[in-house]
Every structure is written in C-alpha cells, then in structure tokens.
Amino acid sequence: MIIPVWDMDGTLIDSTEAVPRAFVQAVAVLGGPPVTPADVVGSYWRGTNEVILTHLVGRPLSPAEQEIYFRQLDDVSVPVYPGILDTLCALHAAGLPLVVFTGASTRAATLLLHAAGITCDLLIGGDQIRAPKPAPDGMLLAADRLGVTPDRLIMVGDSPLDLGSATAAGSRSAAAAWGHMHDPAAPADHTLAAPGDLLPIIGCR
C-alpha cells in the first residue's frame, strides 16, 4: 500500500491566520519593519521559521530572539480542515503511519500540530534537511526512515512546492485543492477535492 506524506500548513491544518499573525507580532517585538500577513506568506518558500523571521526582520537574530516567534504560538487556535480527522482515522485503521513533511521547523510544527490535536508517527521539519521544497530531500528522508523506496510514497500538499518535492524524489503527488496555496495549473498525479478522496487512490477503503 502507498504511504501518504502530508504537508502541514494548508493541508492538514488551516494556519492562514495563526502563523502569519505570529510572524507579524514577532517582527514587531524585534523592532523590524512593518510587515503584513501577505509578506509572511510570500516568504514561506525561503524555508524554516528561523530563516523567514531573519528575512522579515532584516538582520541576523540570536537564539533568544528567535524564541520570540515560538512564544507567539503559545495557546494558538489552529483548526483542522474538514474531513482530515476522519481520513487520518481511516489510515490509522489500515495500519498506515501518519507522516508529516513541512517546511516549518520541527519545533514549530510540533506546537502547531499539538494545538490542532494531531499526533504523527514521523515528523520531518525543514530543519532536518539541507534543501527545502521543491527539492527531494524531505521525501527521500521520509522514505529512508520508513524503510521504503520513494515510489512507495505519495505527497499530499496544497502548494506547488509540495508537489515538486514529490516529483523530484520519484514519488507520487496529490494536490490538496482545499488548501490556500493550491494552484490548479501545478502538475500533480492526482487532485483531491476533499481529504477522503485519497483513500481509494492508495487502496484504502
């Protein structure tokens, strides 16, 4: 059976308000220039939250200053997209692990997933790999840790970067059409209108 690898933001959880707000607040505390939520979203491709925050502030940041971002994530409310929990339960019942590969750092992802009530079996954050999406690094690392070949994985994500990462690794891709970064023009092996559409694709009914 094919093992799904899930993107986090815009696929499992709706972080369109919580994450940009946390960055905007952290930049303000650090005395950086005024930034908008759109500025934050436009910087997601840069990599982990540490890289993004440094870019938005416009100067190198100490570890203590980077902590300010994590403080903004305390007690955040992060909704899960409709159909996600039912789909994850079905996958669990089929004996499949919950694997998440996100550009966020492992620590930030852990905080956000905890806030959403999601516990994963394998979490690969952007700080665990050399090159961010759409490079294949995260998918290859997931395959290695699961003890399978990359063609046994299918990346489920809303962003073209997610889909590109799967293609680069030799894995299948499924576009999450419910996500805020979804681009209908981005190449994908499958397009999912809802999370449950994944189940028959991977042979889980």
- Which positions of the chain have pLDDT values less than 70? none
Euclidean distance between CA atoms 31 and 41, whole angstroms: 20
At 133 the pLDDT is 97
In DSSP notation, 31-85 reads: T-----HHHHHTTGGG-SHHHHHHHHHTS---HHHHHHHHHHTTT---PBPTTHH
Taking the CA of residue 163 as centre, how many other CA atoms within 13 Å lie in the half-sphere pointing to its CB? 21
The DSSP letter of residue 23 is: H
User: Which domains does the chain carry?
Assistant: 3-15+78-201 (3.40.50.1000), 18-72 (no CATH)
Predicted TM-score (pTM) of this structure:
0.91
Maximum Cα–Cα distance across the chain: 52
At 77 the pLDDT is 87
At 75 the pLDDT is 76
Q: Among all chains, which residue has been given the structure tokens 């339960």?
A: 89
By three-state DSSP, how is residue 148 classified?
Answer: coil
pLDDT in tens, 111-167: 999 999 999 999 999 999 999 999 999 999 999 999 999 999 999 999 999 999 999
Q: Which of 112, 93, 101 is nearest to 22 (CA)?
A: 112
At 74 the pLDDT is 84
Euclidean distance between CA atoms 102 and 75, whole angstroms: 21
Angle 47-49-51 (CA atoms, 0-180°, nearest 5)?
Answer: 60
At 2 the pLDDT is 97
Residue 171 in contact with residue 137, Cβ under 8 Å?
no
